[in-house]
Amino acid sequence: MKPRVLFALCSIWFMASCAKDDNRVNNPPNQNDEELITSLLVELSAGGASQTYAFRDPDGPGGNDPVQWDTLRLQAGVSAQVRLSFLDESKDTTEDITLEIMDEAEDHQVFFTPQGVSISITVTDTDSNGNLLGLESSWTASSAGTGTLTITLKHQPEIKAAAPGDIALGETDVEVIFPIRVD
């Protein structure tokens, strides 16, 4: 090989070594800047009255325990319209993540799993493919009792199943087990 070619090669190799990190070691970024889902709000409307229940863990995973974890309350035989909101309340200004879920509705679905209580839940909203979304639903409890209701938001990119959906697919973004009481 000609020495000139070799030199050209070496200089390419050598220049590659000039990449440097410009971040200063003693000036780290704020550890709290990450976007999180910290809160799940359940807004129940029945007979003209509405009530909002919540799960709130404003400092995210780890640290302090959740600060609010309500018991959902329903009247037996009364149909309730339910709207869910997912929020990031870890920063000074609250961010509504629900809008982003609606933007990516084709990749998400909310699942409701009651245990110990008999509630019929019908999802009333769909994504652009006609699959269920679950941000809006209608709940009717048949008899009084106590139990739990698990609300699960799943991320199912390209694998979301047709109605009623498949909770086994994808990974969980939110999973809150709410205690529930039906009067």
Partner 1 sequence: MPLERAVVRFGSDRAVYTDARGRFELLVCSKTALFSVEHAGCPTYALPLEIHRDTTLEILMSHRFDALDEVLVLERLAAPATEVVDLNLWNATADLDFGQRLERGSSIRLIRTGASPAKPVYQGFTGNRLLIINEGVRMSGQQWGFDHAPEIDPVFAQEIQFISGSRALWYGPEALGGALTVSRGAIRPEPGVELRALQTVSTNGFGAKSAFQLDVRPKQQHAQGVVRSLLSGFGFRAGASVWGSGDVHAAEYNLSNTGRRGLDMHWAIDWKDRQNRKKFELFYDRFQEQFGLLYAAQVGSLSDLERALEADKPLYIKDFTYHIAAPRQEVVHELFKASIQGKLTGETEWLATYSRQVNFRDEFDVQSVLEPSDLRYAITTHLPELGLENHSGALHWKAKIQGLYQANTYQGRFFLPNFERRGLGLMSGLEFSDARGSFYEVGLRWDVDRFSIYLNPDGNVLERKSSFSGPSVSFSRTNWAPGVRSRWTVGSVYRPPHVHERYSQGVHHGQFSYESGDSNLRGERSWELSYELESPQGAGASSWAVQAYARWVDGFIQIRPDQPILTIRGAYPAFVYDQTDALLFGLDGRYRRAFSREWSAEINCNLLIPRDILNSDWLFYMPPLQAKAELNWQKGLYRLSASGQWTATAFFAPEKQEDFAPPPPAYFIIGLDAEFRPSERWSFGLRLDNALNASYRDYLDRFRYYADAPGFNLALRVIYRGANSFSK
Piece of 14-22, 75-83, 114-122, 133-141 that binds partner 1 (CB under 8 A): 14-22
The reply on whether position 13 binds partner 1 by CB under 8 A is yes
Residue 97 CB, nearest approach to partner 1 (Å): 6
DSSP 30: P
- Count of residues touching partner 1 (by CB under 8 A): 57
* Integer Cα distance of 125 and 136 in angstroms: 6
Measure the CA angle with vertex 67, ends 75 and 150; round to 5°: 45
By CB under 8 A, tell whether 158 contacts partner 1.
Answer: yes
Residue type, 79: S
Residues from 63 through 122 that contact partner 1 (CB under 8 A): 65-66, 86, 97, 100-101, 103-104, 107-108
Residue 129 binding partner 1, by CB under 8 A = no
Among 41, 53, 54, 55, binds partner 1 (CB under 8 A): 55
**Which element (helix H / strand E) includes 70?**
none
Render 118-179 in DSSP notation, one character per residue: -EEEEE--B-TTS-B--SEEEEEE-S-EEEEEEEEEEE-TTTPPSTT--TTSSEEEEEEEEE
Closest to partner 1 by CB, 108 or 137 = 108
Shorter beta-carbon distance to partner 1: residue 34 or 183: 34
Residue 60 vs 145, nearer CB to partner 1: 60
